[in-house]
Structure 1
């Protein structure tokens, strides 16, 4: 199910923040709201969302992105020892091709365990399968040329709504 949202009125996460959609709330602050995922990849898997609606990584304001990321870091630091987790994944999906299903920016904070009874996630790719060094160098050059230090964000990126 893909829930592409064009307006906050249609957004399930905006409803959670507003209190009109039920959730298992963990914490909130002035800018962010965190709740347990209803389809968790591991015990304690939660989502951190900015209270202000933005569809994805390309739309969120720099201030909301910073606040959401710092909240995710604070939450991960606090919950890992409480849950006995051995690690954490911080994960964002932006766009349908990247598995985004709710179009309100969010970060997954996923505690990780060696105990497979607590953790059903698998690696998304097989490590140790390097690409051709020449292809990697060519791709690095293309990306480096597009990402000069101090360049402003492209129009419409990170400006928020």
Structure 2
């Protein structure tokens, strides 16, 4: 199994604020403590093998990601979120800060300041248009 010594998702036990909640043969569902400043219940699904993006996942890793997503939802439904934001950041331009593929699983609550603002909210902002491009990207 390819692991990288500096990667917090290759070695989740090294991060004392991170815990393994669910595990399959090839993937983990990890959560950080509240000290990390994330919304309650937020976590990530990561393959155990270092993969830089979801484009590199094996069929088994995809299947186990889906399995863990179902388990995570069952667990998170207990804290009664109003919805969920799910997503991958792939590459620097997308703000991927850890070079190990990870699916964000974020429960969203009606009383949070950005309730109703999903992944596309920021993409639709006029100030996010590329220079010299129209609103449709041409």
Gaps of 5+ in 2: 126-135
Two-structure CA RMSD over aligned residues (Å)? 3.0
1:111 correspondence with 2:107: yes
Q: Deviations over 1:81-124 (max 9, x none)?
A: 3111121111111111111000111111100110127x778444
Please point out which of 36, 45, 48 is paired with 2:45: 48
Question: Structure 1 length as normaliser, TM-score?
Answer: 0.62
Q: CA deviation at 1:128?
A: 8.8
Q: Which residue of 2 aligns with 1:24?
A: 19
Q: Which residue of 2 aligns with 1:14?
A: 10
Which has the bigger relative contact order, CA under 8 A and spacing at least 6?
A: 1
User: 1 or 2, which has the higher strand percentage?
Assistant: 2
Gaps of 5+ in 1: 1-6, 130-134, 140-161
| Number of aligned residue pairs | 122
Q: CA deviation at 1:125?
A: 2.3
Higher Rg of the two aligned structures = 1
Question: Structure 2 length as normaliser, TM-score?
Answer: 0.71
Q: Which residue of 2 aligns with 1:74?
A: 71
Q: Which residue of 2 aligns with 1:64?
A: 61
1:35 correspondence with 2:30: yes
